[in-house]
Amino acid sequence: MFPEHRPRRLRGTAALRRLVSETTLRPRQLILPMFVAEAADAPRPIASMPGVVQHTRDSLRKAAVEAVRAGVGGLMIFGIPRHHDAEGSGATDENGILNVALRDLRAELGDDTVLMADTCLDEFTDHGHCGVLDENGGVDNDATLRRYADMALAQAEAGAHLLGPSGMMDGQVGVIRSALDQNGYTETGILAYSAKYASAFYGPFREAVDSQLKGDRKTYQQDPGNAREALREIELDISEGADAIMIKPALSYLDIVRAAAENSTVPVAAYNISGEYAMVEAAAANGWIERERTVLEVLTSIRRAGADMILTYWAVEAAAWLD
C-alpha cells in the first residue's frame, strides 16, 4: 500500500535540497556582455533590453568595476562606432571605440577579471554583415579572414585576454591563432563562437549594436535544424587552436550545449542571448512570471546542460542573488 522508494525525503528542507543539488551556479561562471558607443555622451537605454545600455567610456569603466566586485567571472565587450564603412575599418583602428575601451578596462582592472573582445566586423560595417563583401554582395570568406587577423592583433595589443571570433567564417580560428603567435601574442586566448546559429532571437542585439544589416546571415551561420554540423565546427575550431568554444544561442540549443560538453576537450561557453533575455523581461514586467526565480532557473538549465560558463545580461544581478 505504501511506496518503497521515497525520493521526496531529500526535498523536505532547504538544507537537504542544497546538500543534494547536482548543478552549481556561481558568479565566477557568469560573463557580462557590455556595449560601448563612440557617439554616446551618456548611457543610452536599449528599449528592447530593459536594464541594458550602450555605455560611454566612463560609464563602461564604472559598470565593469561593479561587475568585478560582484564576482562576475568575465566581461565581453562590443563596440559601436560613430561611422560605418564597407570594410569595417573602425574594428582595426587603434583609436576605434572598441580598442580604446579595451585599453581603458585593462588599465582599470588589470588581471582582476577576464577581459574578452568580440572579434567580428558586423558592428563596424555599413552593410551589417560579419565580413567584407565580394562583387556579388556575398560575404567573402578569405578576404574576411585577413580583416579578422588585423582585428585580433588590434584587440590583443589593446589588452584583451580572450578574443571572441563570432563571424562563423571557415578557418577563422586558425588564421587568428597564427597571426597572434607570429606577432608575439602567444598568451592571448581564443573563445571561439564555434556553433552560432542563424537565429530569430538576435533581434534586440541588433538594436543594441546599431546594426546596419540588410538581409540575413544564413550563408555563414548555422541552420537551426542541424546538430552534427555543430560538432564538426567545434572539432575544427579546437584543431585550429581554440582555447574554449561557445554555443549561441543557449536556450533553444541546450541539446547542442550538452553534445558540446560531452565531446569538447576545452571549456564550453553558452550565450544566453538578447531575445532570450527580452522574453523573460517582458513576461516579468507583465506579472506573468516571477523574475528572480525565472532568471536563476534559466541560468541553471544552461549549466545543467553542460556549459562551464554563461554569457548573460543578468550576470551582475544573478551574482548578487547567488551570494
Active site residues: 196, 248
Question: Are the C-beta atoms of residues 33 and 313 closer than 8 Å to each other?
Answer: yes
Per the listing, cell 526535498 goes with 11
Per the listing, cell 560613430 goes with 82
Per the listing, cell 567580428 goes with 120
Scored b (16 or more CB within 10 A) or e, 183-193 reads eebeebbbbbb
Nearest residue to 266 via CA among 222, 220, 320, 306? 306
DSSP 213-242: --S--TTTSBPTT-SHHHHHHHHHHHHHT-
N- to C-terminal Cα separation, the chain: 44
- Pairing state between β 44-45 and 53-55: antiparallel
DSSP percent split of the chain into helix, strand, coil, nearest 5: 45, 20, 40
